[in-house]
Amino acid sequence: MDIKGKVHEVLPVTNVTETFKKRELIIEFAENPQYPEFIKFEALQDKVNLFDPLKAGDQVEVFFNLRGRPWTDKSGKTSYFNTLVVWRVNVLSGADAESSAPAQSAPVDISSSAEDDDLPF
């Protein structure tokens, strides 16, 4: 699965145990710009380095696997958890690149009704 969005936050690496580490990435997903969603992704083990070059404001494409698992507490009640585990990130444009990009000019109307058009078609 993949999704495109803007980096909202890159969290530091967390060492869960001596042999297990993870890192979280928050992406602002604006399918409807009026109501953006903030989606949390995780990178595990050697994939935590994927987030090193990312900065808040970068436009990215995130490739991930959707994982789910049950957990039963001491009273026997079962809860379910979903995790979005990242395996690749492509930077589409950086936050700095957007501010330094040249402004686009207004569209030009090429549908003039000139009578002296000498085009052969």
pLDDT tens digits, residue range 55-112?
Answer: 999 999 999 999 999 999 999 999 999 999 999 999 998 766 544 444 444 444 445 5
DSSP notation for the chain: -EEEEEEEEEPPPEESSSS-EEEEEEEEE-SSTTS-EEEEEEEEGGGGGGGTT--TT-EEEEEEEEEEEEEE-TTS-EEEEEEEEEEEEEEEE-HHHHHHSPPPPPPP------TT-----
User: What pLDDT does 116 receive?
Assistant: 55
Domain boundaries, the chain: 2-96
2-96 CATH: 2.40.50.140
pLDDT tens digits, residue range 8-43?
Answer: 999 999 999 999 999 999 999 998 889 999 999 999
pTM of the predicted protein model: 0.72
